Amino acid sequence: DGGITQSPKYLFRKEGQNVTLSCEQNLNHDAMYWYRQDPGQGLRLIYYSQIVNDFQKGDIAEGYSVSREKKESFPLTVTSAQKNPTAFYLCASSGTNGGEKLFFGSGTQLSVL
């Protein structure tokens, strides 16, 4: 099945700890995105990457980091600098050259212990 796989589904972070959320896609899409979803708010863009080895900050990048070493993988690290990390995190991908449709993974719920 083609799609986007996020893991884990649930993640707990202790204070001062960095945690990494995994996102893998087998859609052969060039572009990948990380969004944060808080209750009652729309999706907010954290980071995006339009090509391997390149990525840009979104609207709320502070306290997060990413890498894009492979086309199919776009992991997100929530660092200890992110003081309010509890949220639902969504990874998405889209094709370039006019591929506008975003395909989302099933999300990771991150909570602070």
Nearer Cβ to other proteins, position 78 or 90?
A: 90
d(CA 30, CA 7) in angstroms, rounded, equals 20
Q: Is 110 exposed, middle or buried (0-12, 13-18, 19+ CB in 10 A)?
A: buried
Q: Does 40 bind other proteins (CB under 8 A)?
A: yes
Residue from 27, 58, 60, 75 touching other proteins (CB under 8 A): that is 58
Q: Does 43 bind other proteins (CB under 8 A)?
A: yes
Q: Does 27 bind other proteins (CB under 8 A)?
A: no
Q: What is the DSSP letter of 25?
A: E
Closest CB 20 distance from other proteins, rounded Å: 19
Q: Does 75 bind other proteins (CB under 8 A)?
A: no
Closest CB 16 distance from other proteins, rounded Å: 29
Closest CB 51 distance from other proteins, rounded Å: 11
Per-residue exposure over 52-87, b if at least 16 CB sit within 10 Å of its own CB, e if not: eeebeebeebeebbbebeebbebbbebeeebeebeb
Considering just the CA atoms, what is the radius of gyration of the chain in Å?
13
Q: Does 31 bind other proteins (CB under 8 A)?
A: yes
Residue from 42, 69, 84, 113 touching other proteins (CB under 8 A): that is 42
Q: Identify the bridge partners of residue 13 per DSSP, sorted by sequence position.
A: 112
